[in-house]
């Protein structure tokens, strides 16, 4: 079984739980996902099955888009709504949209982040959340991430009775970005405590929410002997130019050889008899192997 499943991950379960359930449903061990979503986050989780697991690293590099809410006026241990409150400030008046947009622009582009203490990042062989649960101190690594856009979606809501402000936002970002931490960083620029209180991944790779299927839909279809939920590997390369190989070129590709082609694109998706077999990258006057999928059959 080979293919890609744009899965809708519901709140309340981990990304690893989704993989475990799919292994049981599909009776297939070779399954992986392309970017962890926290249990409280829902949305697009791209699943790779069989030969498609070779695409995991490629798909993890793709930008991802999220929509969610940030609460200004309150900070938590986990930087999201699931944690204990550690700082609180009653806002006397709301921030203007202009002030919020200015702070968001300051967090656009390449920025530094320190992963949340309650996260799965490993330090000295242990995950950060293990240190947190054991009440042990540890120095967290700083990483550079890329925020492609960070925008307000609607007029922020001011809750005068509790002195908090809710911001609905959209962000597109690189691999390794913690949106929880981005919420905290926004609060720091506005000089108030903050946390992320809701998040949905709306785009992962080339897949959007409308492309997704649920675990229940997959199980029902599979038990009925139908597998339309399983997309071909080429679905992950919609933006790459397609090139159909001749018999001779296919022999070259099977041996991992470079190709001299009369096309001019940075990346080519190479097909043989209608099936994606490799991704080649332009290097000077030649196209060289980037990702080999020789055993792919769909």
Can you give the residue range of the structural domain that contains 26?
Answer: 3-62+205-234
CATH number at residue 29: 3.30.2350.10
Same domain, 172 and 158: yes
Active site residues: 38
Contact (Cβ atoms closer than 8 angstroms) between residue 235 and residue 208: no
Q: Average pLDDT, whole number, for the chain?
A: 93
Same domain, 9 and 85: no
Look at residue 247 in the predicted model and tell me its pLDDT: 97
Residue ranges in 121-262 assigned as alpha helix (H): 128-133, 179-190, 215-223, 247-254
Same domain, 82 and 192: yes
Is 273 a domain residue?
A: yes
Contact (Cβ atoms closer than 8 angstroms) between residue 5 and residue 25: no
Q: What is the pLDDT of residues 217-275, one digit of tens each?
A: 999 999 999 999 999 999 999 889 999 999 999 999 999 999 999 898 999 999 999 99
Is 74 a domain residue?
A: yes
Is 53 a domain residue?
A: yes
Same domain, 98 and 39: no
Which of 214, 242, 289, 272 is CA-nearest to residue 9? Answer: 214
Neighbours of 270 (CB within 10 A): 25
Same domain, 152 and 191: yes
Same domain, 94 and 150: yes
Is 275 a domain residue?
A: yes
Same domain, 196 and 209: no
Q: For residue 268, what are its two tokens?
A: 């080519």
CA dihedral 169, 175, 179, 180 (to 10 degrees): 170
Is 297 a domain residue?
A: no
> Among 148, 178, 202, where does a domain finish?
202
- Summarize the confidence of residues 48-62 as an average pLDDT: 90
Is 27 a domain residue?
A: yes
- Summarize the confidence of residues 43-49 as an average pLDDT: 97
CA distance 154 to 97: 9
- Asked whether residue 132 carries a pLDDT value surpassing 80, the answer given is no
- Summarize the confidence of residues 128-154 as an average pLDDT: 87
Same domain, 50 and 118: no
Per the structure, how many domains does the chain have? 3
Q: What is the pLDDT of residues 260-270, one digit of tens each?
A: 998 989 999 99
Please give the share of the chain, as a percent, with pLDDT higher than 70: 100
Is 298 a domain residue?
A: no
CA distance 147 to 174: 7
* Buried-state track 272-282, b at ≥16 Cβ within 10 A, e below 16: beeebbbbbeb
Look at residue 18 in the predicted model and tell me its pLDDT: 97
- Summarize the confidence of residues 83-101 as an average pLDDT: 96
Please give the share of the chain, as a percent, with pLDDT higher than 90: 80
Same domain, 102 and 177: yes
Same domain, 182 and 109: yes
CA distance 194 to 95: 13
Same domain, 71 and 154: yes
Rounded to two decimals, the pTM is 0.90
Same domain, 195 and 96: yes
Give residues with Cβ within 8 angstroms of 4, minimum separation 6.
46, 47, 48, 49, 52, 55, 230, 231, 232, 233, 235, 236
């Amino acid at each position: 079984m080979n293919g890609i499943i744009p899965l809708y991950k519901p709140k309340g379960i981990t990304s690893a739980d989704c993989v475990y359930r799919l292994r049981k449903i599909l009776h297939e061990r070779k399954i992986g996902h392309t970017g962890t979503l926290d249990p409280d986050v829902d949305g697009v989780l791209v699943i790779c099955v069989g030969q498609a697991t070779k695409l995991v690293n490629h798909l993890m590099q793709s930008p991802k888009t999220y929509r969610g809410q940030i609460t200004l006026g309150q900070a938590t241990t986990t930087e999201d709504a699931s944690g204990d409150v550690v700082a609180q400030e009653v806002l006397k008046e709301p921030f203007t949209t202009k002030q919020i947009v200015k702070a968001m622009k300051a967090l656009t582009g390449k920025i530094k982040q320190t992963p949340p203490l309650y996260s799965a990042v490993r330090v000295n062989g242990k995950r950060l959340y293990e240190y947190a649960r054991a009440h042990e101190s540890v120095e967290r690594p700083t990483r550079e991430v890329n925020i492609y856009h960070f925008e307000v979606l609607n007029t922020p809501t001011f809750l005068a009775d509790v002195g908090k402000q809710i911001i609905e936002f959209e962000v597109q970002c690189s691999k390794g970005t913690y949106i929880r931490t981005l919420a905290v960083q926004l609060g720091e620029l506005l000089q108030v405590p903050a946390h992320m209180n809701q998040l949905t991944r709306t785009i992962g790779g080339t897949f959007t929410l409308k492309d997704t299927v649920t675990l229940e839909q997959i199980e029902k279809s599979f038990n009925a002997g139908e597998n339309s939920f399983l997309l071909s590997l080429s679905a992950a390369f919609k933006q790459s130019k397609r090139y159909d190989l001749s018999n001779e070129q296919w022999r070259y590709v099977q041996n991992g050889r470079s190709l001299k082609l009369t096309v001019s694109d940075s990346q080519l998706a190479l097909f043989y008899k209608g099936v994606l077999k490799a991704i080649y990258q332009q290097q000077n006057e030649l196209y060289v192997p980037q990702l080999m999928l020789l055993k792919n059959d769909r």
